[in-house]
Amino acid sequence: MNNKISKISIAGVLIAIGIVIPMISPFKIIIEPASFTLASHVVIFLAMFISPVMAIAVSAGTATGFLLGGFPLVVVFRAFSHVIFAGFGAYYFHHSKTNMTTVKLRIFSVVIALIHGVTEIIVSSTFYFAQNLGNLNDYMRLVILLVGVGTFAHSLIDFEIALLIKKPLRRQRSLREIIK
């Protein structure tokens, strides 16, 4: 099959899964402005292993799932911020001259999780201060700890899940050229 057609098909499947996960997942916790939906970033990481354009498209698609799932607006905007870490991560992953050993993959995961957490803190801070929700202690607890640290941990977990899924996918001859 044509490589471009394969990539478009894979992107469509990943976007569809990314839309459905937040809508039907029984494993979600919402404590505004934080929310945690298990495996919601996995499709984004899988797309990052394929291409920067696909990572950005899948990120936008998964954000649509949060919108359609009726999540609070701050959560939807946090989901749309994923295009930043996904775009940067996929670009680096595909243009890096270094071989991604196990150790380098874990370092990559930590850096991506930091970018992910910081962008979500920025989005959440905008909502928090625009709504004048409380004092500095509440801000530190809700935004920095729940959103920032929570997102960092959630990102690391979902990255590991994506790596577990990636291995058997790469064994498929038709996907070996597509998934790095």
Query: What is residue 80's predicted lDDT score, i.e. its pLDDT?
Result: 96
* Tens-digit pLDDT profile for residues 85-98: 999 999 998 888 67
* Tens-digit pLDDT profile for residues 107-128: 999 999 999 999 999 999 988 8
Q: Is the pLDDT of residue 82 over 90?
A: yes
b/e per residue, 116-127, with b = 16+ CB within 10 A?
bbbbbbebbbeb
Q: Is the pLDDT of residue 176 over 80?
A: no
Q: Which of 1-5, 10-14, 54-58, 160-164 has the weakest average pLDDT?
A: 1-5
Query: What is residue 4's predicted lDDT score, i.e. its pLDDT?
Result: 84
Average predicted confidence (pLDDT) for the chain: 88
Q: Where are the domains of the chain?
A: 3-176
Global confidence as pTM: 0.91
Query: What is residue 39's predicted lDDT score, i.e. its pLDDT?
Result: 87
Cα–Cα separations (whole angstroms), residue 53 to 38, 44, 94, 107, 127: 24, 11, 11, 23, 28
Query: What is residue 91's predicted lDDT score, i.e. its pLDDT?
Result: 94
- Mean per-residue pLDDT for 7-29? 89
**CATH number of 3-176: 1.10.540.10, 1.10.1760.20, 3.40.50.720, 3.40.50.300?**
1.10.1760.20
Per DSSP, the residues of 60-114 read HHHHHHHHHTT--HHHHHHHHTHHHHHHHHHHHHHH--S---HHHHHHHHHHHHH
Query: What is residue 2's predicted lDDT score, i.e. its pLDDT?
Result: 74
* Tens-digit pLDDT profile for residues 131-149: 766 677 778 888 889 999 9
